[in-house]
Amino acid sequence: MNKERKLIVAGNWKMNKTVAEAVALVETLDRDLGAQTDVDVVVCPPFTALDAVSVKLKNSLIKVGAQNMSEFDYGAFTGEINAGMLRDLLVHYVILGHSERRECQQESDTLVSAKTKAAHAAGLKPIVCVGETLTQRESNETETVIGRQVEGSLAGLDAEQMKDTVIAYEPVWAIGTGKTATTEQAQQVHAFIRGKIGEIHGNEVAQAVRIQYGGSVKPANAQELLSQPDVDGALVGGASLEDRSFSDIINSTRN
Ligand code: PEP
């Protein structure tokens, strides 16, 4: 697939996989995908498996990401994990502001922006998620909601940090539901997000930023979605839990 920006496909494993299962999965993925350089591949296991997965992928092109982190550097924050601790485990990426955290943990754009800045300060690349609910889409509020999330969650980044931030557009109604945005719906929102980044940081930065699509991405729909001009990869939930489906998604973009 001939793309303007290098594709990035990340697997969000959510609260799945024991350490042994996680290691077994990345062993197979590394065998299947470890030598390819066309697509940046990231796996995001739960915190408990980060260390073992990082060790297993130490010499691999597949990078490791976390699913969340604290906005604080250190201190009395029981149960939290900071960016430095993730770097210590050779983690390269961190998913921030996933809709499940926005909904279940009431994470706000202000909090996501604080985490995004803390990630950059520690040398981690954030994958910042935005997305509208079905009610918001049906009330024609998609651009208002996405515009507010992009402005709020990415507030305070300088141009270099913005270029090094991955945005994941994940319509909430498409996550884990088997419903996927049409290629037109995805392209339209991705172009809108890029335009918004352009308004804030200028066109050169906007053209450099990678915007993933997420929401029931599978081998059967990946190629069509990722062939859209402003779709620069995928954030994959369910289909990243199994070697074959995750590899097939990546391989489908390489034909
Ligand atoms: C996600 O949770 O980021 C996601 C996109 O999940 P799924 O692929 O299962 O819809």
In whole angstroms, what is the distance from residue 220 CA to residue 206 CA?
29
- Over 90: is that where the pLDDT of 128 sits? yes
Give the Å distance between the CA of 110 and the centre of ligand 1.
23
Q: What does the pLDDT look like over 173-182, one tens digit per residue?
A: 999 898 889 9
Q: Which one of the listed residues 100, 107, 132, 170 is annotated catalytic?
A: 170
User: What average pLDDT does range 69-94 have in this prediction?
Assistant: 98
Bridge-partner residues for 179, per DSSP?
none
Average the pLDDT over 23-28 and give the result.
98
Ligand 1 pocket check: which of 67, 180, 235 to mutate, most ligand atoms within 8 Å of Cβ? 235
Chain mean pLDDT for the chain: 96
Residue in 98, 120, 190, 201 annotated catalytic = 98
Tokens of 242: 């199994």
pLDDT tens digits, residue range 156-168? Answer: 999 999 999 999 9
**Is the confidence at residue 169, as pLDDT, over 90?**
yes
The separation between CA 255 and the C-alpha centre of its own chain, rounded to angstroms, equals 23
- Three state DSSP letters for 52-120: HHHHHCCCCCCEEEECCCCCCCCCCCCCCCCHHHHHHCCCCEEEECCHHHHHHCCCCHHHHHHHHHHHH
| 175 CA → ligand 1 middle, Å | 5
13 Cβ inside 6 Å of ligand 1: no
Q: How confident is the model at residue 45, as a pLDDT?
A: 98
Percent of the chain with pLDDT over 90: 93
CA angle 106, 231, 190 (to 5 degrees): 55
* Pick from 18-27, 31-40, 106-115: least confident: 31-40
Is any atom of ligand 1 closer than 6 Å to the C-beta of 44?
no
Encode pLDDT of 213-236 as tens digits. 999 999 999 999 999 999 999 999
Q: Please tell me if the CB atom of residue 129 comes closer than 6 angstroms to any atom of ligand 1.
A: no
Q: Give the pLDDT confidence score for residue 34 in this predicted structure.
A: 78
Band (142; pLDDT cuts 50, 70, 90): very high
Structure confidence at residue 55 (pLDDT): 98
**Is 170 annotated as catalytic?**
yes
Q: If you average pLDDT over residues 191-195, what whole number do you get?
A: 98
Per-residue confidence band for 255, with pLDDT thresholds at 50, 70 and 90: low
Q: How many residues does the chain have?
A: 255
Q: Relative to the CA of 129, which ligand 1 atom is closest?
A: 3
Considering only CA atoms, which residue is closest to atom 7 of ligand 1?
237
Question: How many Å lie between the centroid of ligand 1 and the Cα of residue 235?
Answer: 7
Check residue 7 and give its pLDDT: 97
Mean pLDDT to the nearest integer, 116-127: 98
H or E element, residue 168? strand 166-169
Which residues have CB under 8 Å from 100's CB, separation 6+? 14, 175
